Amino acid sequence: MFAEIYRVLRPLGKACIVTQSHQQIDDRPIVQFFPGTARVDKKRYPDIREVISAAEQNQLACLKQEILFEGEEV
């Protein structure tokens, strides 16, 4: 995915990646009743550190990381 983003991005262009951290997945209210949902989604969505690392391996730099709603009561 990041190789393709790099290929089509204009010089000095920016891309926005939106995902959930593994902590946010674990904190979903439904996980207390259906813990298997967290295991499935963690396999589908790499943790944020992995996303940033994959981007950097494809010549993209993380300019800003903003974590929203983590630790807030739902």
pLDDT band at 68 (very low <50, low <70, confident <90, very high): confident
**57 assigned to some structural domain:** yes
- For residue 1, the enclosing domain spans 1-7+21-63
Q: Name the residue type at position 70.
A: E
**3 assigned to some structural domain:** yes
**71 assigned to some structural domain:** no
pLDDT digits (tens, 9 = 90+) for 1-58: 999 999 999 999 999 999 988 999 998 999 999 999 999 999 999 999 999 999 999 9
**16 assigned to some structural domain:** no
**68 assigned to some structural domain:** no
pTM: 0.76
**59 assigned to some structural domain:** yes
Count of domains for the chain: 1
Question: How far is residue 65's CA from residue 7's CA, in Å, rounded to a whole number?
Answer: 22
Compute the C-alpha angle 14/17/22, nearest 5°.
150
